[in-house]
Copies of this chain bind each other. A is one copy, B any other.
């Protein structure tokens, strides 16, 4: 096996990172990919920095042991809190979703007032504010935690009255603040894109960090000469979770139309 045949490793607290997986799969059809979902400890967004770092390092070490060539942290909470710590133990490049999402939001130069929504942990870390202001110090950024969006997505209630009422409660008061851009700072949130957009009203650009992260992964592989040559088709995607593989498999199909095949279990 040539070095470039080695897989991309990607992980999330659960199934939200599948939005990034899907974008990666689309953009890099020749690559081998391993996905890990920490379904035994999901969600991360309500937990402490210490816990998120400990969980993330454990998963990173596991994926690194599988001989990956790139590690994508497809969880905003883990990207916000644990990226530095993961990089310390990784011999391969490590990409998070925050920096690509922030750059995507600023592209075109029209963003002046940006609202970031995410989990409590992501918002508390102010990682998006820092990343945005590093690129453009004059930009106005506000962050708002929307903790119920993850369980809503995991329940499969991505539209309907409950989701709309929650979106209205979180985002209704933001409407009159003149935001031109909203960043979906959690990989689950693209599943709720329509109701989020509806709650904010027309004219607000919605930035989804999943596609941005996938583009960034492609650029990283290109720059490092690490793209896989497509002489043979890639192996079947590998999905591994820390608990309840059948539930993961069912939700991946239901919410994202991803056929995972058999999902393996790795308990820490």
**How many angstroms from the CA of A166 to the CA of B169 in the assembled complex?**
14
* Copies of this chain: 2
> Does A155 sit at the interface, judged by CB under 8 A?
yes
Contact status of A162 and B165, CB under 8 A, knowing A46-B154, A47-B39, A50-B243: yes
> Does A92 sit at the interface, judged by CB under 8 A?
no
Find A243's partner among B42, B47, B157 (CB 8 Å cutoff). B47
Chain B residues near A48 (CB-CB < 8 A): 243-244, 247
Chain B residues near A262 (CB-CB < 8 A): none
Chain B residues near A242 (CB-CB < 8 A): 51
- Chain A interface residue bracket vs B: 20 to 34
Binds B, one of A104-112, A145-153, A200-208: A145-153
- Beta-carbon contacts of A65-108 to B below 8 Å, as 1s and 0s? 00000000000000000000000000000000000000000000
Chain B residues near A157 (CB-CB < 8 A): 148, 169
> Does A160 sit at the interface, judged by CB under 8 A?
yes
**How many angstroms from the CA of A233 to the CA of B243 in the assembled complex?**
44
A102 to chain B, nearest CB (A): 26
Find A166's partner among B39, B162, B168 (CB 8 Å cutoff). B162
Seen from chain A, the residues whose Cβ lies within 8 Å of a Cβ on chain B are: 39-42, 46-48, 50-51, 54, 147-148, 150-152, 154-155, 157, 160-162, 165-166, 168-169, 242-244, 247, 267
Q: A148-B151, A148-B157 are in contact. List 18 more A-B contacts (CB 8 A).
A: A40-B47, A41-B41, A42-B46, A46-B154, A47-B244, A48-B243, A51-B242, A51-B243, A54-B267, A147-B151, A148-B148, A148-B155, A150-B151, A161-B169, A162-B165, A162-B166, A162-B169, A165-B165
